[in-house]
Amino acid sequence: MGDYMNATFLQRFLAYIIDILIVVILLNLITYNINFDKRNDLNSEITNYLTEYDPTDVESVNKLLDLQYQYNKESILVDTVSVIMTVGYFIVFQYFNKGQTIGKKLLKIRISGKDNKKVGIGQLVLRSIIIYQILVNIINLILISTVDKMLYLNIYGILTAVQSIFIVITMLFILYRKDKRGLHDIMSGTYVVVERG
Q: How many Cβ atoms sit within 10 Å of the Cβ of residue 162?
A: 11
Q: Look up residue 45 and give its DSSP letter.
A: H
Domain residue spans of the chain: 9-35+75-194
pLDDT of residue 197: 63
pLDDT, tens only, 22-80: 999 999 999 988 888 888 899 899 998 888 888 888 898 899 899 999 999 999 999 99
pLDDT interval class at 104 (50, 70, 90): very high
**Angle CA(195)–CA(25)–CA(39) in degrees, nearest 5?**
145
**Ramachandran assignment for 109, one of left (phi > 0), alpha (psi -120 to 50 degrees), beta (any other):** beta
pLDDT for 146-197, tens place per residue? 999 999 999 999 999 999 999 999 999 999 999 999 999 999 999 999 987 6
Task: Give the angle subtended at the CA of 101 by the CAs of 99 and 102, to the nearest 5°.
Answer: 140
CA 155 distance to own-chain centroid: 18
Q: What's residue 171's pLDDT?
A: 93
Any bridge partners for residue 38, and if so which? Answer: none
Binned at pLDDT 50, 70 and 90, residue 3 comes out as low
Q: What is the pLDDT of residue 163?
A: 92
Burial call 24-45: b when 16+ CB within 10 Å, e when fewer: eeebeeebeeebeeebeebeee
For the residues 97-115, what does the mean pLDDT come to?
Answer: 95
Q: Is the pLDDT of residue 1 over 70?
A: no
